């Protein structure tokens, strides 16, 4: 056995040379973000004012919360198309609770004179709806063995239907001031509250994925489910859990959205899934599973926000914006596929 | 004689690796040529360049006397070079005839002339001495038959050179014989064949000449008649391997750790009535290495997966240290001290996108937890360092991607994943598949060391020399049942082979009186 230690040519090939491609793959979103911001700033000086930058962050914070949840799902090689509809349904639930229950939900007027169960119960209602919705989808995926794409496509329709049924045609608006502050207030008159919520949960999610056993299991299940099972991991439980987490963030996002608009309606959240998936994928999370970070997702979210904001400032129509988002998704996935083939060869 | 193929001074660099460094290969018309070398020696890269799938950085290729540049796989095929990879490139849901003529379907314009396609396929398969229905669906064929379809496709393209990458690795010995017969037939018709293989006994049996690569360089070439297996191994590893497959005889006195009784399972993905396991029973003692021999499809892997809880079984008992246990998932098996190193490293064991550190600790998170949820990375690094030293794992850093290690070192990381759990029983399925000879010996030594620390090891292998080298006792399997057991000192390859091929007398078994 001793003589074999000198057996050098079958050993590892240490790769000391800086891997430019690997560096790019990791920091491309950040570099792209900086270039994009510099570009917009040169076209439109207003772009770089603190007011506008905080506005961008506030605009993206709800997408950002959803993208954090979506990162968990996509890391397991899953997808959730239902989040826009789930946001609408959870948002209506929170709104109804805030207004003092189902029967009072269309009362006009806000504040002390209207009945209310308080913002925290509203938050609980939204998150509860999200978590239960997410669990049902996770259950269908792991127990009924229906592919995530199909389950959540079904969810997309079902939750929207539930929202329309629940809203019975009208928006629910006018919440108590504490509730509204969560969406419209600023801490120290500067930092919008939704931005604080977004970044706080992003940090929490980063810690979970990076430092906990559960986070490690998510990467394992996404990277190679069979190897994960043969290593003693409970693949079904892990897979179900990411849809529950996605549901939690959908509920939280719905609650913040209600607060920001001081209103909830059944058509809220339409098309969110696309923007959110684009943010996650641009941030470097692989649709094939097992690769990605929350840091990347945060950058990806801001990148999309900056892009849309810049296009608005440059008077580009919202229709064109949709076209651009579509193209970006395809390009980001093309890049990911290329990176995956590189990983194999290396 | 003017060579049919001459590749010279071929260089190819991948990021961080000089895969080929002045490699060369000469193949004569009408010969069977062995392309040999350890894993990572550059064989695959060389044949990919020959197949037009990759472009060399420099070097020349002459084929049929003229200088050629293969710009694509299609280009190489057009010139008469067909490559049959380990993973077949057949369309599983199409017929044999469609696969043979894929992309070149006979017929006028838009329409396919099915009659012509079928009759030409039949004439080619007849030439190979095969009885395959041209309209059979490829999915329903055995691995060996699918390989024949690949060969038929190569012939239909009027190939002059057929490259076969590890053609025998998934075949039973009878099927290997058949393949060799066909290879000789093709040779008699003037075709040349390149065999890329690890099985040196087969090389001696079938090949005319050899070429050995080491670290991307051509280190030797000549006639098989002028060299011995040891000589080839010396060329491959660059020095003598004395300890190669040496058996150490040991006295086993430990208690029985694992006893399996009456394991039955029916039904697989293809056929829900197929007998997968029939009344399988055996026991293994502390510190013992039990070898499990059998042909491909004999039920060895299925037995291992059933005991480990990876597949469900219909009836039977698994008894650990005298207590019957209920195993419904790998998690249960691990809890009771059973580990499994699966046969397909990449598909079933490795997390290719994760670092060595994460791969190694994957089953042992419990030992490195802080506050019940966080992974203590300091403890984790210490664990990796411990096993790096114990198992002599060669890596640049624990943060290196597992994909960048050689096959042997990947396998050591997989072994370490289980050793970290201090298992009572460790099942290793094809522990040295696809790793080079030096690393094979190391893995064998690790199995001995594991047994010495009291682990009961079950070693499954398709290579009889390996079974004979590592085992203290050997059981043989065939058609899902144990056909015999023998002590190592009484066994020879011939005896094992006859035990593995024994006919199961009790044909009743296939008609449903299992239980």
Q: Cα distance from B334 to chain A (closest Cα, Å)? A: 7
CB contact (8 A) between residue A229 and residue B342 = no
Q: Which residues of B touch A1 (CB under 8 A)?
A: 243, 392, 442, 445
- Using the Cβ of B249 and the Cβ atoms of chain A, whether some distance falls under 8 Å is answered with no
How much is the pLDDT for A280?
94
Q: Are residues B98 and B118 in the same domain?
A: yes
How much is the pLDDT for A78?
95
Q: Are residues B145 and B232 in the same domain?
A: yes
Residue A341 confidence (pLDDT) above 80: no
Torsions phi, psi for B444 (to 5 deg): -60, -45
Integer Cα distance of B157 and B77 in angstroms: 7
Question: In the listed set B237, B266, B300, which residue is the last one of a domain according to the structure?
Answer: B237
Q: What are A122's two structure tokens?
A: 């509203």
> For B286-305, what is the mean pLDDT?
88
Integer Cα distance of B265 and B276 in angstroms: 5
Integer Cα distance of B351 and A219 in angstroms: 9
Residues A293-323: pLDDT tens digits?
Answer: 999 999 999 998 888 888 887 788 888 888 8
Cβ atoms of residues B221 and B212 within 8 Å: yes
How much is the pLDDT for A114?
52
Q: At A107, which helix (H) or strand (E)?
A: none
Give me the domain span that covers residue B391: 354-422
How much is the pLDDT for A272?
92
Q: Which residue of A has its CA nearest to B328?
A: A232
- pTM for this predicted structure: 0.76
Predicted confidence band of residue B251 (pLDDT cuts 50, 70, 90): confident
CB contact (8 A) between residue A227 and residue B401 = no
Give me the domain span that covers residue A220: 56-270
Greater confidence (B7 vs A20) lies with B7
> For A93-115, what is the mean pLDDT?
66
C-alpha count within 13 angstroms, C-beta hemisphere, residue A27: 8
CB contact (8 A) between residue A10 and residue B16 = no
Integer Cα distance of B451 and A158 in angstroms: 58
Cβ atoms of residues A90 and A251 within 8 Å: yes
* Structural domain contains residue A336: no
ipTM of the complex: 0.81
How much is the pLDDT for A25?
62
How much is the pLDDT for B514?
34
Cβ atoms of residues B45 and B19 within 8 Å: yes
Residue from B489, B501, B514, B512 nearest B252 by CA: B489
CB contact (8 A) between residue A291 and residue B353 = yes
3-state secondary structure B278-309: EEEEEEEECCCEEEEEECCCCCHHHHHHHHCC
Residue B248 confidence (pLDDT) above 90: no
Helix, strand, coil % (nearest 5) of chain B? Answer: 35, 25, 40
Residue A337's DSSP bridge partners are none
Greater confidence (A67 vs A304) lies with A67
How much is the pLDDT for A249?
98
Q: Cα angle vertex B332, ends B386, A217, to 5°? A: 60
Contacts of residue B253, Cβ cutoff 8 Å, sequence gap at least 6: B285, B287
Residue from B283, B262, B259, B264 nearest B274 by CA: B264
Number of domains forming the structure of chain A: 1
Which of B350, B404, B409 is closest, CB to CB, to A15?
B404
Q: Indicate which CATH number applies to the domain containing B306.
A: 3.40.50.300
Q: Cα angle vertex A133, ends A129, A138, to 5°? A: 150
Q: Are residues B427 and B415 in the same domain?
A: no
* Structural domain contains residue B202: yes
- Using the Cβ of B248 and the Cβ atoms of chain A, whether some distance falls under 8 Å is answered with no
CB contact (8 A) between residue B350 and residue A233 = no
Integer Cα distance of B292 and B304 in angstroms: 10
* Structural domain contains residue A319: no
* Structural domain contains residue B245: no
Residues A227-284: pLDDT tens digits?
Answer: 999 999 999 999 999 999 999 999 999 999 999 998 899 999 998 998 899 999 988 8
CB contact (8 A) between residue A229 and residue B330 = yes
* Structural domain contains residue B349: no
Residue B310 confidence (pLDDT) above 60: yes
Provide the percentage of residues in chain A whose pLDDT is more than 90: 49
Q: Are residues B369 and B331 in the same domain?
A: no
Q: Are residues B462 and B475 in the same domain?
A: yes
Provide the percentage of residues in chain B whose pLDDT is more than 70: 92
> For B264-279, what is the mean pLDDT?
78
Residue A10 confidence (pLDDT) above 60: no
Q: Are residues B388 and B430 in the same domain?
A: no
* Structural domain contains residue A310: no
Q: Cα distance from B211 to chain A (closest Cα, Å)? A: 19
Question: In the listed set B174, B203, B237, which residue is the last one of a domain according to the structure?
Answer: B237
Helices (H), B6-142: 43-50, 73-79, 96-100, 114-127
Which of B15, B352, B417 is closest, CB to CB, to A223?
B352
Predicted confidence band of residue A345 (pLDDT cuts 50, 70, 90): very low
CB contact (8 A) between residue B15 and residue A214 = no
Long-range contacts of B377-381 (CB under 8 A, 24+ apart): B377/A211, B381/B357
Question: In the listed set B422, B453, B470, which residue is the last one of a domain according to the structure?
Answer: B422
- Using the Cβ of B17 and the Cβ atoms of chain A, whether some distance falls under 8 Å is answered with yes
Q: Cα distance from A333 to chain B (closest Cα, Å)? A: 17
Integer Cα distance of A9 and A130 in angstroms: 55
Q: What are B460's two structure tokens?
A: 């499954």
How much is the pLDDT for B150?
86
CB contact (8 A) between residue B404 and residue A213 = no
Q: Are residues B200 and B278 in the same domain?
A: no
Q: Are residues B280 and B145 in the same domain?
A: no
Residue B14 confidence (pLDDT) above 80: no
Q: Are residues B233 and B97 in the same domain?
A: yes
Output the average pLDDT for chain B: 85
Q: Are residues B179 and B39 in the same domain?
A: yes
Count the Cβ atoms, other than its own, within 10 Å of residue A304: 25
Which of B39, B354, B363 is closest, CB to CB, to A223?
B354
C-alpha count within 13 angstroms, C-beta hemisphere, residue A60: 28
Provide the percentage of residues in chain A whose pLDDT is more than 70: 86
The three-class DSSP label of residue B104 is coil
Q: Which residues of B touch A227 (CB under 8 A)?
A: 347-351, 362
Cβ atoms of residues B235 and B41 within 8 Å: no
How much is the pLDDT for B282?
93
Greater confidence (B171 vs B39) lies with B171
CB contact (8 A) between residue B442 and residue A4 = yes
């Amino acid at each position: 056995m001793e003589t074999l230690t000198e057996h050098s040519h079958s050993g590892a090939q240490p790769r000391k040379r800086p891997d430019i491609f690997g560096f790019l793959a990791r920091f491309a979103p950040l570099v792209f973000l900086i270039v994009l911001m510099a570009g917009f700033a040169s076209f439109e000086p207003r772009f770089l004012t603190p007011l506008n930058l905080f506005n961008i962050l506030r605009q993206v914070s709800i997408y950002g919360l959803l993208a954090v949840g979506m990162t968990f799902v996509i890391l397991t090689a899953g997808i959730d198309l239902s989040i826009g509809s789930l946001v609408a349904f959870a948002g209506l639930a929170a709104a109804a609770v805030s207004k003092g229950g189902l029967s009072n939900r269309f009362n006009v007027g806000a504040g002390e004179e209207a009945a209310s169960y308080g913002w925290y119960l509203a938050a609980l209602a939204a998150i509860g709806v999200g978590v239960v919705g997410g669990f049902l989808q996770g259950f269908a995926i792991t127990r009924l063995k229906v592919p995530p794409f199909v389950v959540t496509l079904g969810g997309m329709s079902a939750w929207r239907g539930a929202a329309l049924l629940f809203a019975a045609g009208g928006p629910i608006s006018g919440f108590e001031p504490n509730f509204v502050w969560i969406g419209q207030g600023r801490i120290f008159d500067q930092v919008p509250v939704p931005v604080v919520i977004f970044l706080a949960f992003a940090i929490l999610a980063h810690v979970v994925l990076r430092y906990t056993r559960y986070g490690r299991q998510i990467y394992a299940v996404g990277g190679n489910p069979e190897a994960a099972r043969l290593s003693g991991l409970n693949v079904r439980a892990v897979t179900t859990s990411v849809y529950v987490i996605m549901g939690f963030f959908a509920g939280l996002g719905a609650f913040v959205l209600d607060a920001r608009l001081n209103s909830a309606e059944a058509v809220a959240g339409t098309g969110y899934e696309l923007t959110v998936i684009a943010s996650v994928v641009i941030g470097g999370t692989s649709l094939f599973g097992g690769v990605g970070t929350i840091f990347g997702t945060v950058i990806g979210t801001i990148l999309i926000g900056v892009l849309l904001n810049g296009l608005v400032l440059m008077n580009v129509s919202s229709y064109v914006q949709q076209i651009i988002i579509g193209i970006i998704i395809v390009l980001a996935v093309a890049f990911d596929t290329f990176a995956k083939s590189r990983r194999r060869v290396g | 004689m003017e060579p049919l193929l001459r590749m010279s001074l071929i260089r190819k660099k991948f990021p961080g690796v000089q895969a080929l460094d002045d490699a060369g290969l000469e193949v004569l018309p009408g010969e069977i040529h062995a392309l040999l070398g350890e894993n990572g020696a550059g064989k695959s890269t060389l044949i990919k360049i020959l197949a037009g799938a990759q472009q060399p950085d420099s070097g020349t290729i002459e084929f049929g006397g003229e200088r050629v540049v293969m710009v694509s796989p299609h280009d190489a095929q057009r010139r008469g070079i067909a490559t049959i990879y380990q993973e077949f490139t057949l369309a599983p849901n199409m017929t044999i005839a469609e696969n043979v003529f894929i992309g070149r379907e006979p017929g006028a314009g838009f329409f396919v002339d099915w009659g012509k396609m079928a009759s030409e396929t039949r004439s080619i398969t007849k030439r190979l001495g095969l009885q395959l229905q041209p309209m059979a669906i490829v999915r329903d064929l055995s691995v060996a038959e699918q390989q024949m379809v690949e060969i038929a496709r190569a012939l239909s393209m009027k190939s002059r050179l057929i490259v076969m990458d590890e053609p025998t690795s998934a075949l039973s010995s009878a099927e290997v014989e058949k393949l060799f017969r066909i290879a000789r037939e093709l040779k008699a018709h003037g075709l040349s064949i390149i065999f890329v293989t690890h099985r040196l006994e087969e090389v001696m049996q079938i090949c005319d000449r050899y070429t050995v690569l080491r670290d991307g360089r051509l280190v030797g070439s000549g006639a098989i008649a002028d060299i011995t297996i040891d000589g080839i191994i010396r060329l491959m590893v660059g020095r003598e391997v004395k300890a190669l497959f040496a058996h150490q005889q040991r006295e086993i006195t430990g208690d029985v750790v694992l006893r399996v009784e009456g394991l039955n399972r029916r039904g697989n993905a293809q056929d829900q009535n197929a007998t997968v396991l029939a009344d399988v029973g055996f026991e293994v003692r502390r510190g013992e290495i039990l070898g499990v021999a059998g042909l491909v499809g004999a039920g060895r892997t299925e037995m291992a997966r059933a005991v480990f809880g990876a597949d469900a079984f219909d009836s039977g008992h698994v008894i650990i240290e005298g207590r019957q246990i209920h195993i419904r998932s790998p998690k249960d098996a691990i809890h009771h001290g059973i580990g499994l190193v699966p046969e397909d490293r990449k598909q079933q064991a490795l997390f290719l996108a994760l670092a060595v550190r994460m791969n190694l600790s994957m089953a042992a998170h419990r030992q490195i937890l802080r506050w019940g949820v966080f992974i203590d990375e300091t403890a984790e690094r210490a664990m990796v360092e411990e096993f790096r030293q114990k198992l002599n794992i060669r890596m640049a850093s624990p943060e290196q991607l597992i994909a960048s290690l050689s096959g042997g070192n990947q396998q050591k990381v997989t072994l370490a994943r289980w050793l970290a759990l201090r298992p009572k029983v460790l099942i290793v399925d094809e522990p040295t598949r696809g790793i080079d000879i030096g690393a094979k010996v190391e893995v064998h030594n690790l199995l001995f060391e594991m047994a010495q620390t009291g682990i009961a090891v079950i070693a499954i292998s398709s290579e009889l020399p390996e079974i004979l080298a590592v085992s203290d006792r050997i059981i043989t399997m065939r058609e899902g049942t144990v056909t015999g057991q023998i002590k190592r000192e009484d066994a020879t390859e011939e005896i094992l082979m006859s035990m593995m091929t024994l006919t199961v007398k009790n044909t009743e078994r296939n008609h449903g009186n299992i239980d």
